Amino acid sequence: MDKNAVTTPVAPLVPATILGRQQMRIPTAGKIRAGIKVLTKAAAANPAIKALYDDGLAHNATFEQIEQKIAERFPDVKTPLAPKNVAWFTVRPNDFPNPALAGQILAAYGEDRGDGEVRLYRFPVIFPADAWQSVMPHELACWARSEKRYWSEYSLDGQTRRCMMFSPAKVDQHKQRAVRTFGGRGTQPRPENDGLCDPERCPEFQNRQCNLSGRFIFYIPGIRSLDAFELHTNSFYALSRAIERFEAIAFMRGGRIAGFLDRNRTPFYFTKKLREVSHLDAKTGQPVRSAHWIIELEAPVDVAALLAQQDVESTLRIADDAARALQGDVAPMPNDASDSIQVVDMPADAAGNTPAATQARQTPSRSTAAAPPANAEGADAVYALGAELGVERARLDAYLDWAWGAGWRRNAQGIKRVQAELARYQGNAEGLRQHIDAEIGPQE
| Residue 231 and residue 133 share a domain | yes
Question: By residue range, what is the domain housing residue 107?
Answer: 28-120
Residue 222 lies in a domain: yes
Chain-centroid distance of CA 162 in Å reads 20
Q: Are 296 and 167 within one domain?
A: yes
Of the candidates 266, 301, 336, which is a domain's last residue?
301
What average pLDDT does this structure show over 343-372? 37
- The domain total for the chain is 3
What is the C-alpha separation between 62 and 64, in angstroms, rounded? 5
Q: Any idea which of 3-7, 200-204, 224-228, 306-310 has the lowest mean pLDDT?
A: 3-7
Q: Are 379 and 235 in a shared domain?
A: no
Compare 4 and 265 and report the one with higher pLDDT: 265
Q: Is residue 133 domain-shared with residue 114, that is, in the same domain?
A: no
- Describe the chain by its helix, strand, coil percentages, rounded to 5: 35, 25, 40
Question: What digits encode the pLDDT tens for the residues 197-243?
Answer: 999 999 999 998 999 989 999 999 999 888 899 999 988 899 999 99
Q: What is the CA radius of gyration of the chain?
A: 27
Choose the weakest-confidence range: 258-262, 278-282, 315-319. Answer: 315-319
71: left (phi over 0), alpha (psi -120 to 50) or beta: alpha
Same domain? 173 vs 93: no
Is the pLDDT at 308 greater than 50? The verdict is: yes
Query: Is 2 among the domain residues?
Result: no
Q: What is the pLDDT of residues 145-190, one digit of tens each?
A: 778 899 998 877 667 889 999 998 888 778 778 888 777 788 899 9
Is there a domain that residue 14 lies in?
no
Is residue 413 located within the same domain as residue 393? yes
Please check whether residue 246 lies inside any domain of the structure: yes
Q: What is the pLDDT of residue 410?
A: 75
**Of 101, 120, 139, which residue constitutes the final position of a domain?**
120
Of the candidates 278, 301, 324, which is a domain's last residue? 301
The predicted pLDDT at position 100 comes to 92
Q: State pLDDT tens for residues 68-101.
A: 899 888 988 888 898 888 999 999 998 998 999 9
Over residues 318-325, mean pLDDT: 56
Dump pLDDT digits (tens) for 30-66.
999 998 899 998 889 889 999 999 999 888 888 888 9
Could you give the C-alpha distances from 300 to 32, 261, 306, in angstroms and in order?
22, 9, 11
pLDDT score at 123? 97
pLDDT band at residue 344 under the 50/70/90 scheme = very low
Instruction: Tell me if 4 is assigned to some domain.
Output: no
What integer pLDDT is reported at residue 210 of this predicted model? Answer: 92
Model confidence band, residue 311 (pLDDT cutoffs 50, 70, 90): low
Same domain, 179 and 230: yes
| Same domain as 157, residue 66 | no
pLDDT band at 444 (very low <50, low <70, confident <90, very high): low
Going by the DSSP 8-state scheme, the letter that residue 113 receives in this structure is -
Q: What is the mean pLDDT of the chain?
A: 78
Does residue 411 form part of some domain?
Answer: yes
Provide the pLDDT for residue 381.
86
In a domain, 59, yes or no: yes
Residues 279 and 145 in one domain: yes
Neighbour count for residue 328 (Cβ, 10 Å): 8
In a domain, 17, yes or no: no
Do 115 and 33 fall into the same domain?
yes
